[in-house]
Amino acid sequence: MKDWLEYAAVWLLLKKLGFLPRPLARAVAAAMARILYDLSPRLRKTAEANLRIAFPEWSESQRNAVIHAMVRNLGWMAAEFARFPKYSKENIDQLVLLDGNENFLEGQRRGKGVLFLTGHIGAWELSSFAHAVYGYPLHYMARPLDNKRIDDLVNGYRCLSGNRPIFKNESARVMLKVLKDAGTVGILADQNTMPEEAVFVDFFGAQASTSTGIARVALHTDAAVVPGYAVWDASIQKYRLRFEPPVELIRTGDTERDVLENTQKFTKVIEDIIRKYPEQWVWVHGRWNTRPKGEPPLYDFS
């Protein structure tokens, strides 16, 4: 019964937001996000702690302004997600401006597939969706949600533009096949990772447990690693889907050293993007939760 109630609530939310005019849907979703944030003390404490780690020189008012904008942007993305069925080749340019797509095409031209390096920046759900609407579908790494009905619903929306999921239990095999066929795989590379799948690299001046998956796959396949992200650009009142030039791999011949150095390189790319758009990253995530052996926790609240 609980599963059905959760599913019904998410289904109703998506349908209601999708039915509303876009400005109203974004305003309603932003207000809901604010309420949820205010009712979640752990999220508030995590966001505040993360910003103190990343920007120790900032004042409290600067951090609060970033948090306020972050919560609003999360609400906006929820509204855009609910409206995915309404977006098409005929109207996507009214919402998303393609910027730097020549960098993505350069990665494609290399013929070894593309690893779309991204993070929880801006409207990350919209970035891959819109790029597929523009004609460049991808496979995305997906971790199944606990509620299968909600998982099916969410992935159904994600796949409306032609994207396809790769689930964890099939990730290596399917990913290698997609890249062998010169396809694209999108990977969110900015979350805390369990130590057995990670290395510690510098992120905003603190050691962060970071997945080695992208580096290992890129080194094995020679796929182009192309950073991409969709951020809200108030000057044009649209999302700007920006692609940066492919990241050139470090190859020393020492596999583990190459994995470490390339993981650090990719993490620095993501950090630089976040520094440009700090209000558009998910500061509520416990990015520094896993610590090197012997180090005390950075989140000292329960």
Q: Each residue of 65-120: pLDDT tens digit?
A: 999 999 999 999 999 999 999 999 999 999 999 999 999 999 999 999 999 999 99
Pairwise CA distance, residues 206 & 106, whole Å: 33
209 belongs to a structural domain: yes
Q: At a CB cut-off of 8 Å and minimum separation 6, what does 150 contact?
A: 6, 7, 10
Return the closest-CA partner of residue 240 out of 123, 115, 114, 83: 123
3-state helix, strand, coil in the chain (%, to 5): 55, 20, 30
pLDDT digits 0-9 by tens, 266-302:
999 999 999 999 999 999 999 999 999 999 999 987 5
- Count of the separate structural domains present in the chain: 1
| Tokens describing residue 84 | 């995915």
- Answer yes or no: is 213 within a domain: yes
Mean pLDDT of 229-257: 97
Kindly report the backbone phi and psi dihedral angles of residue 184, in degrees, each rounded to the nearest multiple of 5, phi listed first.
-120, 140
Answer yes or no: are the C-beta atoms of 33 and 74 closer than 8 Å: yes
Q: Is the pLDDT of residue 199 over 70?
A: yes
- The answer to the question of residue 156 being in a domain is yes
* β-bridge partners, 140: 165, 186
4 band by pLDDT with thresholds 50, 70 and 90: confident
pLDDT, one tens digit per residue, over 142-155 is 888 889 999 999 99
Residue 182 clears pLDDT 90, i.e. is over it:
yes
Domain that holds residue 268: 90-280
Find, among 126, 122, 163, 161, the residue nearest to 142 by Cα: 163
Q: Is the pLDDT of residue 7 over 90?
A: no
> What is the predicted pLDDT for the residue at 302?
57
Indicate whether 54 belongs to any domain: no
Question: Is the confidence at residue 5, as pLDDT, over 60?
Answer: yes
Evaluate whether residue 141 is within a structural domain. yes
Over residues 30-58, mean pLDDT: 97
pLDDT score for 198: 96
Confidence (pLDDT) at 36: 96
**What is the average pLDDT across 121-136?**
98
Identify whether 34 is part of a domain: no
In a domain? residue 222: yes
- pLDDT for res 192: 97
User: Per-residue pLDDT for 254 more than 60?
Assistant: yes
Q: Strand 164-167 and strand 96-99: pairing? A: unpaired
CB contact set of 195 (below 8 Å; sequence gap of 6+):
209, 290
Q: Which one, of 284, 232, 281, 188, lies nearest residue 76 by Cα?
A: 232
Q: Which residues of 20-53 are buried (b: 16+ CB within 10 A; e: fewer)?
A: bebeebbbbbbebbeeebeeeeebbebbbbbbeb
191 lies in a domain? yes
